[in-house]
A and B are shown apart, each in its own frame.
Chain A
Amino acid sequence: MSGPSSQPATGVPATMTEDLLRPLLKTSWSFYLLVAVLGSIVLLGVGAFAYQVNTGIGVWGLNWPVFWAFDITNFVFWIGISHAGTLISAILRLVNAGWRRPVTRCAEVITAFALMIGAMFPIVHLGRPWLFFWLMPYPTERQIWPNFRSPLVWDFFAISTYLTGSLLFLYLPTIPDFALVRDKTTGWRHKVYGVLALGWRGTTKQWHRLESAMQIMAIAIIPVAVSVHTIVSFDFSMAIVPMWHSTIFGPYFVAGAIFSGIAALIIAMAALRKFLHLEAYLHPVHFENLGKLLLMMSLLWGYFVFAERLTTWYGNESAEMSVFWATQRGAFAPLYWTMVVCNFVLPLSILSFRKFRTVLGCVIASCGVVVGMWLERFLIIVPTLSHKYLSYSWGSYRPRTPEILLLISTFGAMGLLYTLFSKFVPIISIWELKVGEQPELTQPHETPDVAATLWRTHP
């Protein structure tokens, strides 16, 4: 596990197809146990939500003036996590980084499910959640449309677009793999995967169209991803409230999102590697590369935090400084400094040294980052809301059980969805891995009587 890998970075065993299809075809008791445990955690959250809808948001810890806390923290956190897939799949695909191949589907799955979980919170946090559909633009007898000038309506459009794009971006490259499973199974599996594979055969025309579509989607999904978290940051920066009304929020949030997304990806990959015995496919070099990316994002995050806080401190505006000191020295100081350690000190200490950039080292750093990024969202929202301009109306916040249950259940939901996905879909893209294994032909051809022209090599 530690030290340089002893197998070549791109070497995959000859039993690739069997290995990667095995989770689909064989189920052990540990799978059922895991599903049962995660499912109960999710049910706890559903119960907490039902209780809240029935009784009122009052069962949470919100008050005047802290009207958003755990709900919006969870929302921003999960939307942030969802930026993993886009970075890995789309950006690495566009720059032709070959090491992405075993990792793309793991990452895209995180995106899809994290988005779904995050997108629940705009509904969950509503005072009257049964009316959430009023955010949709449709002609109604109420003679009113959504307020397109509101950042929450921007959220609705951005997240819908990103969710649609991500699900399609996830589904399209699974079509050839579904065809593979269809061909290798019988019975109900053959039928179901046959439907999912849409009758795919693998003609050259189909392959070319698929790759064109993936290229377009990769180009399109990157600006959408950047816009989504920027728009989520606009939920805060559009309000003239101390330490929210900052122009840095857009890039700051996007950087933070990619940061937390890579951390989530590392954790997911490590878990898959262990539980599905994918050591031959997810090599330490993949974790090393992602660890370097995580290090870079940690530095970037530190840069944004420094820029924002220096500007605030230097300006010394009284309203902003009361929020500033509340985080740095006041009631929120323990959380604030934990966040700094988790997001900056810990990743830097571990990931700066090749010796520590092992699978375990990356996972430890990533767990710290996940905790730290959740704290960061919380510390953006609650200290500001509890210290607005008029000091008579300052307040405080303490979470209550239903909110904590909801938070825990989101992690359970992510685990459950991921477990179920890896049971029914090959978690590593088989055909993309095969393409990665194609030998690089730098000579035109082997035999002189074949007029095979070679166009380009592939990574």
Chain B
Amino acid sequence: MATPAIYGLYDEPAAAQRACTALKRAGVEEREITVISSEPFEAFEFSQRDHSLLLFRLAGIGGLVGFVLAVLLVTGTARAWPIDVGGMPIVAWWPYLVIIFELTMLSAILTTVVSLLITARLPSRRKDMYDLVVSDGKILVGVPMTAGRPADAIRQALGAGGAVTIKTADFQN
């Protein structure tokens, strides 16, 4: 179901920042403002709101899970089919630490990538808010026009930043 949205295109991140501030003053919730760019602008406030340590925590958990599975693998299989090699103990911890380490890291890495894909909603085939000129370096700041939202106020707020263009389009958002 397509929702109409209004967005402005800006040349400079400072301009986009001004638009975001103006939109918030006009009463738009922060989470409804979408900012799209072809490079990250960490130095600006509009970039900071989505910061979270979620991926780091998930990677740690993934590593822990990998650790447990690795320990089970090496000790379980060694005990299930005990074979004497070179007089070493059946559960030989020094060599097994190598396998455990590798599987822990592999699990942490895979968890990170899967978490990234899920939280960034990739891969995505929906027609979400976007404009091709973003690839030319323009920054897009947009708001979905839910029922009752005054279009003029939004346009004015977007214009406050010195938008190059203001467009309206329908998105699947």
Contacts and interface: CB of A to CB of B under 8 A. Distances in A.
In the complex, A touching B, CB below 8 Å?
A: yes
Interface of A: 17, 137, 143-145, 147-150, 153-154, 157-158, 160-161, 164-165, 168, 172, 175-176, 179-180, 183-184, 195, 198-213, 216-217, 220-221, 223-224, 227, 231, 234, 431, 434-435, 438, 441, 445-447, 450-458
A158 B123 contact: no
B69 to A, nearest CB: 11
Interface string B77-97: 110110101001000100110
Contacts of B101: 223, 227
Interface majority SS on B: helix, strand, loop or mixed? Answer: helix
Interface of B: 14, 17-18, 21, 34-52, 54-56, 59, 73-74, 77-78, 80-81, 83, 85, 88, 92, 95-96, 98-99, 101-103, 105-106, 108-110, 112-113, 115-117, 119-126, 128-130, 132, 134-137
23 contacts: A147-B85, A148-B99, A154-B99, A158-B102, A164-B109, A180-B38, A202-B134, A203-B35, A203-B36, A204-B46, A205-B50, A206-B121, A207-B47, A208-B40, A210-B116, A211-B40, A213-B115, A216-B59, A221-B109, A450-B21, A451-B21, A452-B21, A455-B43
Contacts of B21: 450-452
B43 A438 contact: yes
A213 B40 CA distance: 14
Contact of A205 (B78, B120, B129): B120
Contacts of A157: 98-99, 102-103, 106
Given A198-B124, A216-B55, A161 B135 contact: no
Contacts of A447: 14, 18
Given A148-B95, A454-B44, A455-B42, A168 B17 contact: no
B140 to A, nearest CB: 8
A251 to B, nearest CB: 16
Contact of A450 (B18, B110, B126, B134): B18
Contacts of A161: 102-103, 105-106, 109
Contacts of A451: 21, 45
A438 B41 CA distance: 8
Contact of A204 (B47, B103, B106): B47
Nearest to B96: A148
A208 B41 CA distance: 10
Contact of B43 (A183, A202, A456): A456
B103 A199 contact: no
A439 to B, nearest CB: 9
A213 B38 contact: no
B53 to A, nearest CB: 8
Contacts of A147: 83, 85
Contact of A213 (B37, B113, B137): B113
Contacts of B49: 204
Nearest to A435: B39
B123 A199 contact: yes
Given A137-B77, A204-B35, A452 B17 contact: yes
B116 A172 contact: yes
B112 A220 contact: yes
Contact of A199 (B44, B115, B126): B126
Given A205-B50, A208-B47, A446-B14, A216 B112 contact: yes
A165 B109 contact: yes
Given A165-B105, A450-B17, A451-B21, A200 B122 contact: yes
A208 B49 CA distance: 10
A445 B46 CA distance: 14
Contacts of A184: 135
